[in-house]
Amino acid sequence: MTSNDEVISDEIVFRGHENVRALHPTTIEITRDNAISMRADCVIGVGADKGCGDLNENLRRHIRSGGALRLELTVGTERFAFYGHGDPRLSLDDSYEVVFRRSNFTSPRTCAIKCSAASLDIPRNMISKLKSREALACLKIVALS
């Protein structure tokens, strides 16, 4: 945290797509792509306003220090929270995608590892809403001290 206890956070705004399935047991992905195929079973949203490389620098520093994160997905009035961890190996370079992983695997598009949830764990009523291109959603990433 910063010296004045300011909360370090950022948000990724995205929309739904008819091919959102969210059946992957180990990852959650959000992409800037405007379309996805049925094979993209970890993707929960398209048309994102940012990727890992666009997150604010204070949050990126916290993630690279191995800090803990609270992640909150909001779709309409529905909310789903899960947790993850940063790691010094995370470059956070990809400005096109953001991936949250249960595993320790890292890549330029990985935002957090050791996450408590994957796309398969997101409540199905939220996923039903994310199957519409009209659906707007937000993923808030908050640094935990």
pTM (predicted TM-score): 0.94
The per-residue pLDDT for range 59-75, each reduced to its tens digit, is 999 999 999 999 999 99
**How open is the CA angle 140-36-70, to the nearest 5 degrees?**
15
Q: Is residue 92 part of a domain?
A: yes
Q: Is residue 96 part of a domain?
A: yes
Q: If pLDDT is split at 50, 70 and 90, which confidence band does 88 have? A: very high
- Sequence length of the chain is 145
Range of the domain at 36: 9-144
Q: Is residue 3 part of a domain?
A: no
Cα–Cα distance for residue pair 22/37, rounded to 1 Å: 12
**With 80 as the cut, is the pLDDT of residue 83 above it?**
yes
pLDDT at res. 5: 62
Q: For the chain, how many structural domains are there in total?
A: 1
Residue 102 in contact with residue 110, Cβ under 8 Å?
no
List of residues 6+ apart from 12 with CB closer than 8 A: 30, 48, 49, 50, 98, 138, 139, 141
Listed residue (40, 43, 22, 27) closest to 102, CA to CA: 27
**With 60 as the cut, is the pLDDT of residue 3 above it?**
no
Q: Is residue 39 part of a domain?
A: yes
CATH of the domain at 52: 2.60.120.630
Q: Is residue 49 part of a domain?
A: yes
The per-residue pLDDT for range 95-127, each reduced to its tens digit, is 999 999 999 999 999 999 999 999 999 999 999
